[in-house]
Amino acid sequence: MLEEETDPWRIILLAFLVFLGVSLVLGNSLDTDRVVLLDLKSSLEESNKVNRGHYSEWNLSSSNPCDWKGITCNYNRVTGVNLSGSSISGTLFLNFSNLTELSHLDLSSNTLGGQIPADLSHCNNLVYLNLSHNILDSELSLTGLSNLQTLDLSKNRIRGGIQTSVPAICNSLVVLNISENNLTGSIEDVFDQCDKLRYLDLSMNDFSGNIWIWFGRLQKFIIYDNYLNGNIPASSFTANCSLEVLDLSGNNFSGQFPGEISNCQDLIILHLWGNKFKGPIPPEIGSIASLEALFLGNNSFSRDIPESLLDLKNLDFLDLSRNNFGGEIQGTLGKFTQVKYLVLHTNSYTGGLYSSGILNLSNVVRLDLSFNNFSGPLPSEVSRMPSLKYLTLAYNQFNGSIPLEYGDFPHLQALDLSFNELTGTIPLSLGKLSSLLWLMLANNQFVGKIPPEIGNCSSLLWLNLANNKLSGNLPAELSNIGQNPIATFESNQQSGRIIPGSGECLMMKRWIPADYPPFRFVYDILSRKTCWSVWDQLLKGVWLFPICAHGTLVRTNQISGYVQLSGNKLSGEIPSDIGKMHNFSMLHLGVNNFSGKFPQEIGELPLMVLNISVNRFSGEIPREIGEIKRLQNLDLSSNNFSGTFPASLNDLTWLSKFNVSYNPLIYGVIYVTGQLAKFEKESFLGDPLLVIGSIPHRPLHPSANHTRSGTKKAPKLIIFPVIFALVLTFLAFGILSFIHFSSVKSSLCYR
C-alpha cells in the first residue's frame, strides 16, 4: 500500500513529478489565458479605432498577462479583468468563458450595447460582475452564474422581467444592483431563495405589482421610482429586521404604514415620500434611535405628529411636505431641536409660525415653508436661527417689507422670498450677507432702487429680482457681486455630502431657470438623482458646464451665475463696470426703461444668454458682442439701436436664438452665409433698413428685392436634424453625462 512506502527517494521523486505536472498544466493554462486576452484585445481594438483604453498596451510591456494593467492573477491564472471606464464601445466579448478561472469581471462605465451573450453564463467561477453604466439593452439572462456574490447592472437599458433570471443566480448573491434599467413585471417572489442577499437596489425601473415581503432581512432595500402598489405588510418587519436603508419612495403603496418598522433598530434612512400612505404616522418610529432621515412627504398622513418622534436624537432630516396639512403648523414641530432640515413645503398652512415655536429651532440649516398659505409680515425672528443657511418662504402670501434683520444671517446662502406680496424697498442691510449665493426676490411688489450695498454680497452668483417695480439706475457697485464665492464653496466642501432631499427638485427648478442653456433640454426630465447631484455640485462650487472666458480659446470649468432683472422699471445707462462680472453667464435686463449706449465691455463676459429686449437702448449695437464666443441666446429686440448692424455677430457660431426685431433705425446687411442666416424673418421684424439675404462681396443695394424664403430653406433643413439629434442625445445621456460629454467633446471656444 502507498501509505507503507517509506522510501524517501520515492517520495521525493513523486513530489517532483507532481510539481512538474502541476506546473505544466498551470503553465499551459496561463498561456491559454494569455491567448484569450490577446483575442479580447484585438476584438476591442477592432470596435474601438480611436480613444483606446489601457488594454492597447497589453503584450507590449510584458509577455506575462499577470503584469498587464487591469489583469489580476491568482495561482498563476487570470482571475480578474477590469476594463472599467476604458471608452469601450461595441458589444460584449464572446469568449470570456475561455478564461476558466475568471472570478472578477468589471466592464462598467463604457458604452457597451446589445445583448448579454450566452457565453457569459458559462463563466461559472464569476463572483463579481459589474456591467453598470453601459447601454446594454437585452433581457437579463446570466443563468449559469451560481457563484455570483456581486452583480451590478445598474444604468443600462435592460428590459423584461426578472422572475426566472434572478432566482437562477441568487444562491450566493450578496449585492444586486439593477437600478436604472427598463425592467418590468412583478418582484413578488423573486428574491425568496436569495438567502445571502444584503443590498438590493431596484430603483428607477418599471416594476409593478406588490412588494417582495421579505425585505426585512436585507441591509439596504431601495426600490424608488417604480410602479409598485398594495400595502406594506406588518410581517415584513420581523423581530430580527436588519434594515439600515429602506427607500420605497415614488411608488403607489397605500394603506397604513406598519408600526412594526420599530423592529428595525438599525434603520438610518426611512424614505416613504411619494406614495399613498394614509392614517397616522406610526408613533413606533420614535423608538428607532439610529434614524437620521425621515421622508414622509407627498402622502396623505394624518395631521398629528407623534411626540415620540422627538426621541429621535439623531434625526437630521424631516420631510413632511405635500401632506395636505392645513391650519397652523403643528406644535410638535417646534420641539424638534435636533433637526437640521425641516421641509414643510406644499401644505396648506395658514399660520402657526410663532405658536409652533419652529422659529426657535437652533439647529435648523434649511427651512422650507414654500407653497403654503402664510400671510402677514415676514417673521423677523428667523434671523435668530443661528444655523440657518437656506430659507425658502416663496409662494405664500407674505406681505409688508423685508425686515432689516434679514441682513443679520452670517451663514445664509440662499434667501428665497419670490412669489409673495412683499412691498417696500430692498433693505440695504442685505449687503451684509457675505455667504449668500442665491437671492430670489422675483414676483413681488418691491419698489425703489436696487441698493448699491448688494454689491457687497461677494458670494452672490444667482440674483433674481424680476417682475417687481424697482426703479432708478443699475448701480455700478452691483457688478461686484459674485466676485469671490470661494469661501462659501469651501465651507460647503468641508461639510461633506449634502443630504439629498425628498424627491422633488422644486428649489433647483426655481433657482436654475429653464432658459439657462445647459439645462434647457434636460430641465423637465431632471430625475431626483441627477437633480440632487447637481445641487450638491452647485453648493460646492464644482463647475457644471465649461464657459469661454474673454480672450481665451479653450473653455474653462468655472462656476457661473446669472442676473435676472427683467420686468421692472429700471432706467438710465448700464454702467461700464458690468465688464467686471466674469462669473456670470446669463444677463436678463429685458422689459425695463434702460437707455443710452450699451457698454462695449459686455464683450468681456462669458455670456450664454444676453436679453436686453424692450428697453430704450440707442446708439450702435456693440460689435464686441461678437466676441462672446459661446453666446447662445441674444435678444436685442424692441430697442432704439441705430447705425450699422455689426457684422461681427456672424461669428457667434453657437447662437441658437436671436432677435433684433423692432430697432427701426438699424441698417446694414444680413448675408446668406454666416450664423445669422439661420434665423427666420421673425428675428428681423420691424427693421426696414436691414437688408436680409444678401450675397457677400456685392455692392449694397438697399432697394434690392430679395426673397428670404429662397435663401433660408437650405440651412434650415440641415439645422433641424442637428437639433433633433442633440435633443435625443441629451435625453439619452442625462444631465450629468451631458456635462461630462460637453466637457470632453468640445473644449474649444470656437466651432
Ligand X SMILES: *[C@@H]1O[C@H](CO)[C@@H](O)[C@H](O)[C@H]1NC(C)=O
CB of 496 to ligand X, least distance (A): 17
| Residue span binding ligand X (CB under 6 A) among the ranges 73-81, 134-142, 286-294, 629-637 | 629-637
Identify which of residues 277 and 562 has a Cβ nearer to ligand X in the complex. 562
201 binds ligand X (CB under 6 A): yes
416 binds ligand X (CB under 6 A): no
CB of 413 to ligand X, least distance (A): 26
CB of 691 to ligand X, least distance (A): 18
SS3 of the chain: helix, strand, coil, percent, to 5: 30, 20, 50
| Residue span binding ligand X (CB under 6 A) among the ranges 74-82, 431-439, 656-664, 713-721 | 656-664
- Interacting residues of 405 by C-beta distance below 8 A, sequence separation 6+: 380, 383, 384, 429
239 binds ligand X (CB under 6 A): yes
Binding mask 6-45 for ligand X (x = CB under 6 A): ---------------------------------x---x--
Query: b/e string for 377-406 if b means 16 or more Cβ within 10 A?
Result: ebbeebbebeebbbbbbbbbebbebbbebb
Consecutive H or E run containing 26: helix 8-47
CB of 81 to ligand X, least distance (A): 13
Q: Phi first, then psi: give them for residue 711, nearest 5 degrees.
A: -85, -20
Identify which of residues 201 and 453 has a Cβ nearer to ligand X in the complex. 201
Residues 421 and 395 sit within 8 Å (Cβ to Cβ): no
Identify which of residues 329 and 655 has a Cβ nearer to ligand X in the complex. 655
The Cβ of residue 721 has, within 10 Å, a number of other Cβ atoms equal to 9
Q: What is the rounded CA–CA span in Å between residue 464 and residue 564?
A: 5
The residue within the footprint of ligand X, chosen from 122, 432, 509, 616 (CB under 6 A), is 616
- From 433, 424, 373, select the one nearest 405 (Cα to Cα): 433
CB of 650 to ligand X, least distance (A): 17
SS3 181: coil
CB of 72 to ligand X, least distance (A): 15
The single-letter code of the amino acid at 464 is: N
Residues 337 and 363 sit within 8 Å (Cβ to Cβ): yes
The site that binds ligand X (CB under 6 A) totals a number of residues, namely 49
User: How many CA atoms does the CB half-sphere of 32 hold within 13 Å?
Assistant: 16
DSSP letter (8 states) at residue 545: S
- Interacting residues of 252 by C-beta distance below 8 A, sequence separation 6+: 227, 228, 229, 275, 276
The Cβ of residue 407 has, within 10 Å, a number of other Cβ atoms equal to 18
| Residue span binding ligand X (CB under 6 A) among the ranges 346-354, 363-371, 386-394, 680-688 | 680-688
240 binds ligand X (CB under 6 A): yes
The residue within the footprint of ligand X, chosen from 352, 541, 561, 590 (CB under 6 A), is 590
Q: What is the rounded CA–CA span in Å between residue 35 and residue 16?
A: 28
Q: What is the rounded CA–CA span in Å between residue 669 and residue 700?
A: 8
Contacts (CB under 6 A) with ligand X, residues 100-119: 108-109
- From 451, 448, 439, select the one nearest 477 (Cα to Cα): 451
| Residue span binding ligand X (CB under 6 A) among the ranges 354-362, 440-448, 570-578, 679-687 | 679-687
Identify which of residues 223 and 385 has a Cβ nearer to ligand X in the complex. 223
| Residue span binding ligand X (CB under 6 A) among the ranges 22-30, 246-254, 382-390, 637-645 | 637-645
In sequence order, what are the beta bridge partners of 367?
342, 391
CB of 108 to ligand X, least distance (A): 3
Identify which of residues 149 and 387 has a Cβ nearer to ligand X in the complex. 149
The residue within the footprint of ligand X, chosen from 94, 135, 213, 447 (CB under 6 A), is 94
Identify which of residues 109 and 323 has a Cβ nearer to ligand X in the complex. 109
CB of 149 to ligand X, least distance (A): 10
Binding mask 125-164 for ligand X (x = CB under 6 A): -----x-xx----------------x-x-xx---------
| Residue span binding ligand X (CB under 6 A) among the ranges 59-67, 92-100, 270-278, 365-373 | 92-100
CB of 389 to ligand X, least distance (A): 26
Q: Phi first, then psi: give them for residue 103, nearest 5 degrees.
A: -120, -20
CB of 285 to ligand X, least distance (A): 20
Pairing outcome for strands 71-74 and 77-82 = antiparallel
| Residue span binding ligand X (CB under 6 A) among the ranges 65-73, 232-240, 397-405, 548-556 | 232-240
End-to-end CA distance of the chain, in Å?
A: 85
84 binds ligand X (CB under 6 A): yes
91 binds ligand X (CB under 6 A): no
The Cβ of residue 680 has, within 10 Å, a number of other Cβ atoms equal to 12
The residue within the footprint of ligand X, chosen from 434, 638, 694, 711 (CB under 6 A), is 638
In sequence order, what are the beta bridge partners of 694?
671
Q: What is the rounded CA–CA span in Å between residue 708 and residue 506?
A: 43
Cell 438599525 belongs to which residue? 266
Task: Provide the grid cell at 508.
Answer: 433647483
CB of 361 to ligand X, least distance (A): 31
- Interacting residues of 28 by C-beta distance below 8 A, sequence separation 6+: none
Identify which of residues 129 and 402 has a Cβ nearer to ligand X in the complex. 129
Q: What is the rounded CA–CA span in Å between residue 719 and residue 738?
A: 20
User: How many CA atoms does the CB half-sphere of 150 hold within 13 Å?
Assistant: 10
Whole-number CA gyration radius for the chain: 32
299 binds ligand X (CB under 6 A): no
Identify which of residues 232 and 393 has a Cβ nearer to ligand X in the complex. 232
633 binds ligand X (CB under 6 A): yes
The residue within the footprint of ligand X, chosen from 48, 179, 458, 459 (CB under 6 A), is 179
Identify which of residues 409 and 617 has a Cβ nearer to ligand X in the complex. 617
661 binds ligand X (CB under 6 A): yes
Identify which of residues 36 and 549 has a Cβ nearer to ligand X in the complex. 36
Cell 444680413 belongs to which residue? 670
Identify which of residues 4 and 682 has a Cβ nearer to ligand X in the complex. 682
Binding mask 539-578 for ligand X (x = CB under 6 A): ---------------------------x------------
Residues 627 and 650 sit within 8 Å (Cβ to Cβ): no
- Interacting residues of 329 by C-beta distance below 8 A, sequence separation 6+: 344, 349, 351, 352, 353, 355, 356, 358
165 binds ligand X (CB under 6 A): no
Identify which of residues 269 and 433 has a Cβ nearer to ligand X in the complex. 269
- Helix 708-745 to helix 528-540 angle (10° resolution) is 70
Residues 716 and 692 sit within 8 Å (Cβ to Cβ): no
Q: What is the rounded CA–CA span in Å between residue 369 and residue 356?
A: 13
263 binds ligand X (CB under 6 A): no
Residues of this chain that bind ligand X (CB under 6 A): 39, 43, 84, 94-95, 98, 108-109, 130, 132-133, 150, 152, 154-155, 175, 177, 179-180, 199, 201, 217, 220, 222, 238-240, 515, 566, 590-591, 611, 613, 616, 618, 633, 635, 637-638, 640, 642, 657, 659, 661-662, 665, 682-683, 685
